[in-house]
Structure 1
């Protein structure tokens, strides 16, 4: 199941090569949430790491991500990990109308008017 959030790109990090076959890149967005902004870290993995290259810190972005969790046991201690795995990033605001901007209305052309029929009465009563 995919989730989406919008926010300001707060921080982006370099790609980390975790193993010979796995790489990840983390980034943080800031979401407005009442009085206290939320600072949320996401990760891109493998071939998705370069998707962050076209964005700058401060850009408004929409992040599409999957919620991933796993259990890890080492030396008898169990830990639980949750990752927000981003797989799509879109810039917000560039192609969209600004909030509060009036919607543009398309007016019909003169040729779109209905033809007047001779037997129609002009009076509303």
Structure 2
């Protein structure tokens, strides 16, 4: 799945526990009739992917949805969801790479010339 929008917030990397679990949060505002602010978590080595990005950039983020169950002390099951990012692309940079330079186009042939014989069968 993918989320496309503008970066609203990039938090600093947080480290948890003695094993050094790392998490970094990104908020992307979608460009829709009713814009959504989507919180996306990057974990472990994926935290470093956000270093090259800044607030205000248009991005495409590849995500996975994660869900888990937790049994509270009263024995009730509670469910939690998270959105985990695993790839991020700068849309402005990707768009400029897909447009060939203007000097790569060949000029159109001049079809108005009557010097050539008409070899059409009709």
Deviations 1:49-105 (A, max 9, x none): 1110110000011100111101011202321111111010110022315xxx9xx78
More helix per residue: 2
1:39 paired residue number: 37
Structure 1 unaligned segments of length 5 or more: list them: 111-119
- Pairing of 1:1-125 with structure 2 (within 5 A): 3-21=1-19, 22-34=21-33, 36-75=34-73, 76-97=75-96, 106-107=105-106, 122-125=119-122
Separation (CA, whole Å) in 1 of partners of 2:119 and 2:52: 61
CA RMSD of aligned residues (A): 2.5
Separation (CA, whole Å) in 1 of partners of 2:65 and 2:55: 23
- What TM-score do you get using the length of structure 1 for normalisation? 0.75
Q: Aligned pairs, how many?
A: 108
Moved over 3 A (4+): 104-110
1:53 match: secondary structure: helix
Deviations 1:8-62 (A, max 9, x none): 011011111122221111110000121x211000000011111101100000111
- What TM-score do you get using the length of structure 2 for normalisation? 0.77
Separation (CA, whole Å) in 1 of partners of 2:67 and 2:27: 19
